């Protein structure tokens, strides 16, 4: 099967890194489980310009990029999926330098023995055109998944504290770990 993966929040743990950056840059303690733009800005913890500055630092500099941690289980899951003959493609909102950092981090961290196929979409743009032909896609942002309804047959929402209050409804199936995602993929493969 052809499987699409988001990067931040699916491969890399961006919530923890944003929490560290908020403390360093602005002296604000925000738990990773609450680090979603809408939550942080609407609660007045950061202004929108501060949030954008933080995003640019976390995603666009090696100072923070080298501190990124992989989502637990991602390395084993990617190896397992590739060994099972699945084609993997990372579709991320990152582009330019941010995309280069993500690619290099993935290699440096040994997430995949062979480099993953990355496609940078750009911030605020839909992944729909890039997702055509995929069988499965996983993201931690339900709004991005909504734009893929009718494009990708099987959509999954990777669950974090910052999106656990979001009702995924008929848009996607929620998974709480890479292990659970692998189980769902196996169920889909058996049903084919």
Tokens of 128: 């729909």
Look up tokens 């669950």; give the residue: 159
> Percent of the chain at pLDDT above 90?
84
Quickly state the pLDDT bin for 145 (edges 50, 70, 90). very high
Quickly state the pLDDT bin for 65 (edges 50, 70, 90). confident
Question: Does 79 share its domain with 6?
Answer: yes
Under 8 Å CB-to-CB from 21, ≥6 apart: which residues?
54, 57, 58, 64
Which among 172, 132, 177 is positioned nearest to 152, based on CA atoms? 132
The predicted model scores a pTM of 0.93
Domain count of the fold of the chain: 2
Q: Each residue of 94-126: pLDDT tens digit? A: 999 999 999 999 999 999 778 899 999 998 899
Question: Does 101 share its domain with 152?
Answer: yes
CATH number for position 81 = 3.40.50.1000
Quickly state the pLDDT bin for 165 (edges 50, 70, 90). confident
Look up tokens 């084993």; give the residue: 76
């Amino acid at each position: 099967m052809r499987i699409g993966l988001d990067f931040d929040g699916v491969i890399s743990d961006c919530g923890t890194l944003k929490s560290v950056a908020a403390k360093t840059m602005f002296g604000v303690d925000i738990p990773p489980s609450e680090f979603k733009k809408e939550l942080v800005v609407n609660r007045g913890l950061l202004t929108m310009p501060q949030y954008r500055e933080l995003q640019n630092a976390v995603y666009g500099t090696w100072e923070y990029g080298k501190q990124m941690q992989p989502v637990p289980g991602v390395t084993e899951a990617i190896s397992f999926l590739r060994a099972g003959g699945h084609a993997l493609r990372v579709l991320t909102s990152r582009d330019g330098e941010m995309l280069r950092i993500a690619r290099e981090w993935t290699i440096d961290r040994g997430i995949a023995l062979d480099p993953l196929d990355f496609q940078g979409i750009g911030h605020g743009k839909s992944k729909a055109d890039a997702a055509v032909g995929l069988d499965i896609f996983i993201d931690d942002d339900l709004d991005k998944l909504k734009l893929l309804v009718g494009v990708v047959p099987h959509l999954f929402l990777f669950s974090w504290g910052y999106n656990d209050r979001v009702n995924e409804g008929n848009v996607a199936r929620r998974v709480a770990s890479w292990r659970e995602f692998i189980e769902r993929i196996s169920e889909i493969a058996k049903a084919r």
